[in-house]
Amino acid sequence: MNIFQFLKRKRGRETTPPKLTPQAQEELVAEFEKKFHLHFHRPELIITALKHRSYLNITNEDRIFSNERLEFLGDAVLDLVVTHYLYEKFPKRTEGELSKIKSILVSKPVLADVANQVSLGDFVLINWGEEKTGGRKRQSILADAMEAIIGAIYLDQGLEAAREFIHTHLLRNFQKIIKRGLYKNYKSILLEFAQSKGWEVPSYKVVREEGPDHAKEFVIEVYVDDQKMGEGRGRSKKIAEQQAARQAVKKLKLDKK
């Protein structure tokens, strides 16, 4: 049950994504804190962390009031915590080996899966267009919200609280995530192949952008040794590049699994 369905049930009336009243914001914060066993000294940070940029069309706020700044901060905190964890856990692994493991753990697919498992999408604030097109399950929205929540916890309660949240929802499942092998970094696979051949680094080219600003989709082509080897699309350039690289890896028969 997402936040708008929750409000509808409580009030007995239809509630499509509106601009939340102060009372509705308090209810959202209370439900979030109950779900994740957290208590925020600055509850407004939760609202910001959950506010996808599409929701700004409803609130008429500038883009800086979306969750993107908190996402930026949370990404850095996540990177530090995961790096420290791997450094301590694998004292005999090389920097390159640790980097590969970290790239999986902090990747958008993994973060989106974690967010799905805890139903974070139910709390995300999006506009009606995103609501109708499945935005609450969209990988990029979920992963970004996860990073934004980490950033909010860090600002509100410090690094140790953020570390505990990351350990609880991500690192405690470290072995399962790695063993599943579903989160390959296809760009890295393609890069290593090109380097082994003495070729230039694969290049990625945005060929077009589709859709409105709040739901933009990128179409990207990847070139290996000056030849087009794949095309991908996604709600971010990173996702589209990974999809293009994945196609190239398959075409070059580099994926042995």
CA 146 to chain centre: 6
User: For position 180, what pLDDT does the model report?
Assistant: 67
Q: How would residue 121 be classed by pLDDT, with cut points 50, 70 and 90? A: very high
pLDDT tens readout for residues 224-234: 999 999 999 98
Nearest one of 67, 64, 63 to 47, comparing CA atoms: 67
The fraction of the chain above a pLDDT of 70, given in percent, is 90
CA 172 to chain centre: 18
Q: How would residue 34 be classed by pLDDT, with cut points 50, 70 and 90? A: very high
* Whether the predicted pLDDT of 257 surpasses 50: no
Alpha-helical (H) ranges within 127-224 are 128-132, 139-157, 159-169, 174-180, 186-196
* Whether the predicted pLDDT of 15 surpasses 70: no
pLDDT tens readout for residues 136-170: 988 889 999 999 999 999 999 999 999 999 999 99
pLDDT tens readout for residues 73-118: 999 999 999 999 999 999 999 998 898 889 889 988 899 999 999 9
Residues with catalytic roles: 75, 147
What residue ranges define each of the domains in the chain, with the CATH number in brackets? Answer: 3-180 (1.10.1520.10), 187-251 (3.30.160.20)
User: Tokens 């990173």 label which residue?
Assistant: 238
Residues 6+ apart with CB under 8 A from 79: 102, 106
User: For position 9, what pLDDT does the model report?
Assistant: 53
Q: Does the reported pTM lie above 0.75?
A: no
User: For position 143, what pLDDT does the model report?
Assistant: 94
